[in-house]
Amino acid sequence: MVSNNLIIGGDRVPLPNVVLAAGGSASNYLDDGEPHLIAGVRKKTLTTFVLHETGGNTEVGAERSMQQNHLGVHLLLDSDGSISCYADLATEVCWHAGQANGVSVGMEVVNEYRPELLSPPSGPIIPAEWWTWTPKGKARAYVCPTDVQMAVVGVLVPWLCDRLGIPVVFPTRGLCAKKTRITGWRKPPFGWRAKPGAGIVAHQDFSSHADGRYMLEHLMQDVP
């Protein structure tokens, strides 16, 4: 049995009923044996929530990859709705979003979004959108997160932003096929120069990756 607590500002904060009703549960690094994946103490004002996708099929694989590469996120959402808390959301910095690390909370959603690498469980497969990346010669398609992941994201992210003082707004709402990254972004090694505005964003909005935008699109539809 897990604690169903997240660590925020040194406190154990229970998941709200709305997240539990959506199928969520939570374990953390203080009570439940999760790894502690921090890069340091937060010194800047927290402004941004970053949505990621693992590009892999398992929580264990994502944790191993982060540990081997000295990376981390505050939260990971598995395919069954379970949430792993790897760092204090308010006071600790994780290395997950380049230039936005110091001002952001990051959440990985376990999802192998490339159909050619897919293994169960998964959500539906849809045609590629402007934010989808696929290898040359492969099908232009995207594997969605599971239904329970989407349900949990829809209630967890706004609740956490309200709790952490992050504006529930979408500074990258205007991105599209003609403008796929934020103003000032350039391909590596220069991409770090552009920082996203305050609010909820996808990792793909300001990086060379292609993750998180599907969930952001749905949040923008559901949250006024």
- Please say if the pLDDT value at position 187 is more than 90: no
Question: 5-222 domain in CATH 3.40.80.10?
Answer: yes
Q: 62 is written with which tokens?
A: 């994502």
Q: pLDDT band for position 140 (50/70/90)? A: confident
For 29, other C-beta atoms within 10 Å of its C-beta total 17
Q: Is 41 helix (H, G, I), strand (E, B) or coil?
A: strand
Structural domain boundaries of the chain? 5-222
Burial of 85 (0-12, 13-18, 19+ CB in 10 A): buried
Residue in 220, 202, 167 with CA at minimum distance from that of residue 51: 202
pLDDT at residue 16, as a whole number: 98
Where helices occur in the chain by DSSP H, the ranges are 17-21, 59-68, 147-164, 213-222
**Spatial distance between the Cα atoms of 134 and 128, rounded to a whole number of angstroms:** 9
- Please say if the pLDDT value at position 192 is more than 80: no
**Spatial distance between the Cα atoms of 141 and 134, rounded to a whole number of angstroms:** 7
The DSSP string of 99-159 is GGGGGEEEEEE-----GGG--SS---EEE--TT----TTS--EEEPPPHHHHHHHHHHHHH
Tens of pLDDT, residue by residue over 15-72, are 999 999 999 999 999 999 999 999 999 999 999 999 999 988 889 989 999 999 999 9
**Spatial distance between the Cα atoms of 93 and 105, rounded to a whole number of angstroms:** 8
Q: What is the mean pLDDT of residues 1-15?
A: 97
DSSP assignment letter at 97: S
Half-sphere exposure of 90 (CA within 13 A, CB side): 13
pTM: 0.95
Which value, in Å, is the radius of gyration of the alpha carbons in the chain? 16
Provide the CA 195 distance to its chain's centre, in angstroms.
16
Q: Is 76 helix (H, G, I), strand (E, B) or coil?
A: strand
- Please say if the pLDDT value at position 191 is more than 60: no
- CA distances 223 to 87, 166, 193, Å, are 26, 14, 29
Tens of pLDDT, residue by residue over 74-120, are 999 999 999 999 999 999 999 999 889 999 999 999 998 777 776 66
- Please say if the pLDDT value at position 184 is more than 90: no
For 120, other C-beta atoms within 10 Å of its C-beta total 7
Phi, psi of 60 (to 5 degrees): -60, -45
Q: What is the mean pLDDT of residues 199-214?
A: 93
Q: 162 is written with which tokens?
A: 């309200």
